[in-house]
Structure 1
Amino acid sequence: MSDKIKNIVKSEIINLSKEISNEKGQIASKTLAQNDAVSITIFSFSKGEEISTHESNGDALVSVLEGKAKVTIDNKEYLLSKDDSIIMPANHPHSLYAEEDFKMILTVVF
C-alpha cells in the first residue's frame, strides 16, 4: 500500500479525463492513491452503467470530469454534469448511475 500518488505522470500538466477511457458496457477505474487516510480514483462509466447502493466509512467527494451522472444519497437524487461536485457523507447509503458516458474523480477521506 503506497501513501503517495501513483499511476500518473508527475510535475507535468495533465488532463484527468484523458487518463482513462470509456468502454461500452463497462466501468473502468484507475487508482491514484490509496492508504488509511485517503483514496483517490478516476472512474469512467459507460452510459447506463451504475454502482448500486452501498455505504462507505469515509466522506466521498465526487467531481465530474465529463458527461452526466445521477448520484443518489439517502434516496435523494442529484443530477451532476461536468465540473459539478457532491460529497456523499460517510455511513449514508449512496449510488451512482451514468445518464450518459461520464468520467469522475472520487476522493474518499477516511
Structure 2
Amino acid sequence: MKNQEFKKSVNHKLVDIINYVPGSVVMKAILKKKTGTVVISSFDIGETLPSLTSPFDNLIQVIEGEAEIIINEESNIIEPGSMIIIPAHVKSMVRANTRFKMLSTVIKSGYEDVII
C-alpha cells in the first residue's frame, strides 16, 4: 500500500485521522522527511510498544485517552493535552492501560545549522 500524504493547507482533526483496531497498535505517518517524522498512533487496551532506544529525542503528545510512558523504568501517565519528551539514547516503552491516541514527533539531530 502506498503511503498517502496528507493534504497541505487543509484543517485536519487529529483524533479523526486514525481509528482503533482491536488488539492492535496502528501507526500513520503525517509527515515523513529525512530531517524527522510526525506519526499519529492508536493503541488498543493492553497493547505495548516494546522497550527501545532511539538516537533522537521523541516528543509524545496524547490526544485521546491516557498513555503510560516508561522512561528508564520510571512510569509516567500522560493525559490528553499533555506531553513528554523521551530523551535520545534512553530505554523507553509505551503501554496502553486504556485505549489512547498519541502524536509522536522526532526531529533528527545533525541539522542544527539549517535555518527553517
- State the TM-score, normalizing by the size of structure 1: 0.90
Query: Pairwise mapping of residues 18-37 of structure 1 onto structure 2 (< 5 A)?
Result: 18-37=16-35
1:9-45 deviations in Å (ceiling 9; x for gaps): 3222221110000011001011122233211100000
Q: Is 1:101 matched with 2:75?
A: no
Where does structure 1 lack aligned partners over 5 or more consecutive residues? Answer: 1-5
| 2:24 maps to amino acid | Q
Identity of aligned residues (%): 28
Alignment map for 1:77-88 (pairs within 5 Å): 77-88=75-86
What letter corresponds to residue 64 of structure 1 in structure 2? V
What CA deviation, in whole Å up to 9, does each residue of 1:50-107 have, x standing for no partner? 0011011110000001001100001111001111100000110000001211000100
Matches of 1:41 and 1:108 in 2, distance apart?
9
**Number of positions where the alignment pairs a residue of Structure 1 with one of Structure 2:** 105
Corresponding residue to 1:13 among 11, 15, 29: 11
CA distance in 2 between counterparts of 1:47 and 1:98 reads 5
Separation in structure 2 between the aligned mates of residue 7 and residue 81 of structure 1, nearest angstrom: 28
Aligned to 2:112: none
Q: Residues 40-51 of structure 1: matches in 2 within 5 Å?
A: 40-51=38-49
Cα distance in structure 1, aligned partners of 2:101 and 2:62? 6
Structure 2: which amino acid aligns with 1:105?
L
Aligned CA-pair RMSD: 1.1
The whole-number CA distance in structure 1 between the counterparts of 2:51 and 2:43 is 16
